[in-house]
Amino acid sequence: MGTEETNQAISVVATSILFGGLAIVQGLKSEPKPCPSCATSGGEACIFCNATGRRETPIEITKKDRRDDSVLGLTRRSPMECTGCKGAGMILCKTCKGSGYV
């Protein structure tokens, strides 16, 4: 009686290990799928800078703004840098985080 119960328990454990192992193998084997949101482009061209990553006109920093950390934080790297895409020229796809594949 006791032996039979032990055998059942072992077979349950063995089965779950087997299926768990298969799931891991399938996970490793599966190819990344093209992102349905951006069709592998990884994002969309930035509409704020026409995908150039740069503003047409530099951000004007007034004397008052120079003391304002939030304005300096935006323009510290470059006053010509697009604030919409942070100079990247494109807005990264939220679905695939810019990789183009999910």
Looking at the Cβ atoms of 19 and 101, the one nearer to Zn ion is: 101
| Binding of residue 46 to Zn ion (CB under 5 A) | yes
Q: How far is the CB of 56 from Zn ion (least distance, A)?
A: 11
Piece of the chain touching Zn ion by CB under 5 A; list 17-25, 26-34, 47-55, 59-67:
47-55
End-to-end, the C-alpha distance of the chain in Å comes to 50
Q: Quick one: three-class SS letters along the chain?
A: CHHHHHHHHHHHHHHHHHHHHHHHHHHHHCCCCECCCCCCCCEEECCCCCCCCECCCCCCCCHHHHCCHHHHHHHCCCCCECCCCCCCCEEECCCCCCCCEC
| Binding of residue 38 to Zn ion (CB under 5 A) | yes
| Binding of residue 90 to Zn ion (CB under 5 A) | no
| Binding of residue 34 to Zn ion (CB under 5 A) | no
Tokens linked to 73: 């934080």
Piece of the chain touching Zn ion by CB under 5 A; list 4-12, 30-38, 60-68, 72-80:
30-38
Judged by the rule CB under 5 A, the positions of this chain that interact with Zn ion are: 35, 37-38, 46, 48-49, 82, 84-85, 93, 95-96
